[in-house]
Chains A and B, each alone.
Chain A
């Protein structure tokens, strides 16, 4: 992908900028789809029609929403801290976008093929916490402040089980590189992590061989449980229902972004949707084979067109990611909100002990097998 851009535009700064901006194009298009999905799916689940006036079945509603947000007056409250208030939304989106640097969209496109991919992903998402506190403090509003404190307490608690699940997968594959984790799951659907990982030896990009056999089926229950735990932690980290305590409408107006309007609100909104896809993409990469086709073969190989393989791989990752975003929306319109104490109980007394236990068992099994 990079070489294609280089051959088109030459080896200059423009190429680098375009290469880095590709995920942004994807996020913008995906955000439109997700906004429409949220209103339409919620409507179906509640036996309503949802927006119907803009275009056939209301499908251009998200575009109308974007124009509405663009036209809105940009208000900075008189008592707010001007600098931090204006900085926070950008920092929030920056942290979400920076994480996309290591998401492999296909075998040919990954922003930065870091050997520390997963570790970087964990670290950079902590920037979002700083942005949320900044927004909550700068708004000079008690609802914003409470919302941001709840958000931070929640994210900090759920980072621990999420990190433990990542450790489980890293122990199994022996690499922090996301491309390696995906390569380890290549082939048909039963090689995916959620079904116990690869069933035959895999050669990683570094040349190392990950030896595997059908005995890996023993990992199936552990990885299945890890997947569920990671997804729950992901829901909490993106502040989605049933973990939307930081934005609880009935208590806190809308939490840390109560005072934001217009495009600055849109930035928070975008970063929330970007984070939703991020969590879904990481779930797809860790447990569902990333850009691997579930059939183990590609149309592009049959036609002898390598570019088609890359497009197909991107398609598979997008389908898997969007499916998990759909599940998030589905959960949101199905479950009620947890209480704060239930939230903390869930993280510290359920997810953390279980994730540590699974890490211990998987560690022993990796050494034995």
Chain B
């Protein structure tokens, strides 16, 4: 009972800011609304007993991606006083893409065989199992992802660095 109410609270917390993201003309509002959407999704993960993913969601999306987004938006408008156009444009291509995505989603939704488990099994500590799997069965993908991120960080640092002035 309480869990059902909580589900609807978190669902509302996810969907209402998501509408703001889509319909708001202000980029900064859209970026900050994402914060609440991410929080709501984290709450839904907790209700699904996926505690590790829930915390990782907060860590990665709110602590990382959202901050980066807001920084980007802030530097464009507030710091340089350049208005970013957020009007409606290119209606036809957008409609085609959105229609295609919606069609695919509906196809998957209706095609999937939904089965309901009576109660969600209580899982004690997903972190331990996840850690063991990452260090044994999936150690190669894990390490490859690590190297990929390292390369990305080094690339970003290289691009951001001022080129050394050549002494003539």
**A140 partner residues in chain B, CB cutoff 8 A:** 78
- CA A30 to CA B37, docked complex, whole Å: 33
Could you list 28 examples of A-B contacts with CB < 8 Å?
Answer: A84-B29, A84-B32, A115-B51, A116-B127, A119-B59, A122-B59, A123-B56, A123-B59, A123-B62, A123-B63, A124-B58, A126-B59, A126-B62, A126-B64, A126-B67, A129-B63, A129-B67, A130-B35, A130-B67, A133-B71, A134-B32, A140-B78, A145-B74, A145-B78, A149-B74, A152-B71, A159-B63, A176-B127
Q: How far is the CB of B101 from chain A (nearest CB, A)?
A: 29
Q: Indicate whether A120 reaches chain B with its CB closer than 8 angstroms.
A: yes
Q: Do the beta carbons of B74 and A137 come within 8 Å of each other?
A: yes
**A126 partner residues in chain B, CB cutoff 8 A:** 58-59, 62-64, 67
Q: Indicate whether B124 reaches chain A with its CB closer than 8 angstroms.
A: yes
**A83 partner residues in chain B, CB cutoff 8 A:** 29
Q: Indicate whether A127 reaches chain B with its CB closer than 8 angstroms.
A: yes
Which of B28, B58, B74, B127 contacts A115, CB < 8 Å?
Answer: B127
Q: Do the beta carbons of B51 and A84 come within 8 Å of each other?
A: no
Residues of B that sit less than 8 Å from A by CB: 28-29, 32, 35, 51-52, 55-56, 58-59, 62-64, 66-67, 70-71, 74, 78-79, 124-125, 127
A125 to B, closest residue via Cβ: B63
- CA A86 to CA B58, docked complex, whole Å: 23
Q: Do the beta carbons of B78 and A137 come within 8 Å of each other?
A: yes
- CA A123 to CA B35, docked complex, whole Å: 13
**A120 partner residues in chain B, CB cutoff 8 A:** 55
A126 to B, closest residue via Cβ: B63
Q: How far is the CB of B44 from chain A (nearest CB, A)?
A: 16
Residues of A that sit less than 8 Å from B by CB: 81, 83-84, 114-116, 119-120, 122-124, 126-127, 129-130, 133-134, 137, 140, 145, 149, 152, 156, 159, 176, 206
Which of B59, B70, B79, B125 contacts A130, CB < 8 Å?
Answer: B70
Q: Do the beta carbons of B70 and A133 come within 8 Å of each other?
A: yes
B79 to A, closest residue via Cβ: A145
**A149 partner residues in chain B, CB cutoff 8 A:** 71, 74
Given A137-B78, A176-B127, 8 more A-B residue pairs with CB atoms under 8 Å apart are A84-B28, A123-B62, A123-B63, A130-B66, A133-B71, A140-B78, A152-B71, A156-B67
- CA A306 to CA B166, docked complex, whole Å: 75
Q: Do the beta carbons of A127 and B51 come within 8 Å of each other?
A: no
Known: A124-B58, A145-B74. A152 touches B51 (CB 8 A): no
B51 to A, closest residue via Cβ: A116
Q: How far is the CB of A179 from chain B (nearest CB, A)?
A: 13
Interface of A is mostly: helix
**B71 partner residues in chain A, CB cutoff 8 A:** 133, 149, 152
**B79 partner residues in chain A, CB cutoff 8 A:** 145
Q: How far is the CB of A349 from chain B (nearest CB, A)?
A: 14
- CA A336 to CA B106, docked complex, whole Å: 62
A133 to B, closest residue via Cβ: B70
Q: Do the beta carbons of B62 and A127 come within 8 Å of each other?
A: yes
Q: Do the beta carbons of B51 and A114 come within 8 Å of each other?
A: yes
Q: Do the beta carbons of A137 and B55 come within 8 Å of each other?
A: no
**A129 partner residues in chain B, CB cutoff 8 A:** 63, 67
Known: A130-B66, A137-B28. A123 touches B58 (CB 8 A): yes
- CA A150 to CA B76, docked complex, whole Å: 17
**A123 partner residues in chain B, CB cutoff 8 A:** 55-56, 58-59, 62-63
Q: Do the beta carbons of A115 and B70 come within 8 Å of each other?
A: no
- CA A238 to CA B35, docked complex, whole Å: 21
**B58 partner residues in chain A, CB cutoff 8 A:** 123-124, 126-127
Q: Do the beta carbons of A115 and B63 come within 8 Å of each other?
A: no
Q: How far is the CB of A70 from chain B (nearest CB, A)?
A: 28
**A145 partner residues in chain B, CB cutoff 8 A:** 74, 78-79
**B125 partner residues in chain A, CB cutoff 8 A:** 115, 206
Q: Do the beta carbons of A119 and B124 come within 8 Å of each other?
A: no
- CA A83 to CA B26, docked complex, whole Å: 12
Q: Do the beta carbons of B55 and A115 come within 8 Å of each other?
A: no
**A206 partner residues in chain B, CB cutoff 8 A:** 125
- CA A123 to CA B63, docked complex, whole Å: 7
Q: How far is the CB of A155 from chain B (nearest CB, A)?
A: 9
B77 to A, closest residue via Cβ: A137
Interface centre among A83, A84, A115, A130 (most CB of B within 10 A): A130
Q: How far is the CB of B34 from chain A (nearest CB, A)?
A: 10
